[in-house]
A and B are shown apart, each in its own frame.
Chain A
Amino acid sequence: MNWDLFPQFLATGLLTGGIYSLIALGLVLIYKASRVFNFAQGHLLMLGAFITWWFTENLGWDVWLAFAAAIGLAILAGWLVERVALRPLIGQPILATVMMTLALSQVLQGVTILAFGAYQRSLPYLFPIQPIVLGDIRLKLNLALAFVLAMLGFIIFVLFFRFTRAGLAMRAAAEDHQLAQSVGLSVPRIFGMAWAIASVVATVCGVLLANISGVELTLSLIALKAFPAVLFGGLESIPGAIVGGLTVGILESLVGGLPQDPALRALHLGDIAPYVFMLIVLWFRPDGLFGLKRIERI
């Protein structure tokens, strides 16, 4: 065991976990509002990164401007997805919505390859890349700033839900669709809003990740890491998304990094640690840390 590297792996895991939390936030937003678990979140993320890349490459825009434009498009994409794909399935069993988001992920995959090609692209850096050194710990500046940006995003969303009318309406719809409707809120519009916001969050994650690992199709797979995070935190809980994301990030980094034995390292245990963790969570506490316990009646 590389115990002397423990703080290093802890810090790296924490920073990666920040991005997982932001992906998890997107999942929680949609689930809270409409009881749909979005398996296509990773593909929305990938699409956002590719669109940003396209703006910088083909129109020669500054990366921050391209980022803003991609966020604008993401609002449109999220709203469109809800309107076209998910709205007809309101009231259908959970399987239908799960399958619809899986179908959506395939469509987005196809669209991305058609529009941008299946090549790895690179995005101009949002932040300067230079290592920052804190005692024994060396961190990449872009990862650290991505973490800061992710946490900033979190604070914005928490404030949004707490202090704006739209946020209040979304919380009301999450509580009970019929009650929300009876006080005059348009539930389908709230669903649309939730998807639009989740799509924006996905784009932010996509661009942050693209700054670290490049723009490529495998970006969509990173969202799979957010699934254990969401389940651990609880499907309906925004604080849970942070806690879950950070836990999964740290776990992955520690399990992958700490073992010193080369045979053990060759196993790439970090790849499956989040999923083994998810199985354990499902077995002992399926509702997660802060999730709602469901009581069933016949």
Chain B
Amino acid sequence: MAIRLAGDFDTSYAHDMAILRNRGQWVMLSVFLIGLFALPFVADGKTLGLLNIIGISIIAAHGLNILLGYTGQISLGQAAFMAVGAYTTAVLMKYGVAFWFALPISGVVGGLIGLLFGLPSLRIKGFYLAMATLSAQIIIPWFFRNVRADIFGGTPGLTIVPPRLGEIVFNTQETMYFPIMLTVVVCTLVAKNIARTRLGRALIAIRDNDLAAEVLGIEQFSYKLRAFFISAFYAGLAGSLWAVYARSINPEQFSLLNSVWFLGMVIVGGMGSALGPLLGASFIRILEESTVQLAPALSKLFPQAAAGMLAALGPLVFGIVLALFLIFEPRGLAHRWELLKAAWRLRPFAH
């Protein structure tokens, strides 16, 4: 249970419900947001590149968190739904639709495809549903690889022209940073609030005990489908941003491996918390980047394994970190952060 600050009284219902409860929090958030959007003016392209990748991952992880963390449905298909978003954007932009319209459309198309593969959740759950989404993860990239190569580009995929807004062309890390971070902020706000609505509470009820939830009058199927739609909608947005960020997409970019990584981000970050995907995606992506930095040094130390070092370190470190989190901290970094906050508020006392 979150411990509230001493002297912070609820004097109205609005105050009781507020996410930001006092002036200090408002100041901190404002400073953070100003800092976030001022960063491109000071940071170099490499850092911004990492932040952009983190941002896109956060959006996809937020979606997965709503499905996995709040609703308790395992999905192995997040990367495939991202592919749907990416290809929707690429095809729409090929036919002259501006990116700013293609972005929300990609989200909706992603969501609808997610809905389609969420249909089996009427009868199955848990591990069986993971299998249904696994088939999505194989069927969707197959579709983009083999069907209508004149539209979807087949195995080599599609290239995308950078979006423009008036005079500004979004073709560098600095310029792409703004649409990505803006979407991240909006998505985080929405994700945070979904958990506080009737929808979010219904999803949590389904996660905790689906039969009991049904008895309480929560129509399981319709709420599960909503969770699938939202989750795949987020994936569609992430895919759309990825398409214009990478400017070249192909089916290999959206493999089962990527879906596993998104699952890993949600678990490492902490399921069922809006903070979790932020922490998890940042943690895993920074870890990935550091293995890339470390690989040359390690190759010098172990020359006989040098050839595969870069390809091996990523999955190895990710797998070990995920396994350690599952054993020692299944509630993730977000839970640690809550503990830390509580300890800070209670200092100098232990309880």
Contacts and interface: CB of A to CB of B under 8 A. Distances in A.
Verify that A and B bind, or say they do not: yes
Interface of A: 37, 85, 88-89, 92, 94-96, 98-100, 102-115, 117-119, 224, 227-228, 231, 266-268, 271-272, 275-276, 278-279, 282-283, 286, 296-298
B263 interface: yes
Contacts of A100: 323, 326
B189 interface: no
A272 B139 contact: yes
Interface stretch (B24-32, B118-126, B170-178): B118-126
Interface residues of B, number: 48
A173 B165 CA distance: 65
A279 B135 contact: yes
B20 interface: no
A278 B76 CA distance: 15
A282 B131 CA distance: 8
Contacts of A117: 305, 307-308
Given A104-B323, A224-B138, A227-B131, A95 B68 contact: yes
Given A117-B307, A275-B135, A282-B131, A110 B215 contact: no
A276 B139 contact: yes
B101 interface: no
B54 interface: no
A110 B319 contact: yes
Given A94-B127, A267-B147, A298-B212, 7 more contacts: A94-B74, A105-B260, A107-B323, A109-B316, A117-B308, A276-B135, A283-B120
B49 interface: no
B114 to A, nearest CB: 14
A102 B146 contact: no
A233 to B, nearest CB: 13
Most buried by B among A89, A106, A268, A272: A106
B97 interface: no
A44 to B, nearest CB: 14
Give the secondary structure class of B's interface.
helix
B119 to A, nearest CB: 8
9 contacts: A89-B327, A94-B74, A104-B319, A106-B318, A109-B316, A110-B314, A110-B319, A227-B131, A275-B134
A224 B142 CA distance: 14
A276 B132 CA distance: 9
Interface of B: 68, 72, 74, 119-120, 123-124, 126-128, 130-132, 134-135, 138-139, 142, 146-147, 209, 211-212, 215, 256, 260, 263-264, 267, 305, 307-309, 311-320, 322-323, 326-327, 330
Given A267-B146, A298-B209, A95 B327 contact: no
A227 B308 contact: no
The 10 A-B pairs at the shortest CB distance, nearest first, are namely A110-B316, A106-B319, A107-B319, A113-B312, A275-B135, A103-B322, A113-B308, A106-B315, A114-B312, A110-B315
Contacts of B267: 99
A164 to B, nearest CB: 29
B322 A99 contact: yes
Given A102-B263, A114-B312, A227-B131, A279 B120 contact: yes
B327 A88 contact: yes
Contact of B211 (A119, A275, A298): A298
Nearest to B259: A102
Contacts of A111: 312, 316
A183 B264 CA distance: 39
A284 to B, nearest CB: 9
A85 B68 CA distance: 22
Contacts of B128: 231, 282, 286
Contacts of A89: 326-327
Nearest to B154: A266
A112 B124 CA distance: 35
Given A107-B316, A282-B128, A113 B74 contact: no
A99 B326 contact: yes
Contacts of A279: 120, 132, 135
A266 B205 CA distance: 46
Contact of A95 (B74, B211, B315): B74
B254 to A, nearest CB: 15
Most buried by A among B120, B131, B211, B307: B131
Given A224-B138, A278-B135, A107 B123 contact: no
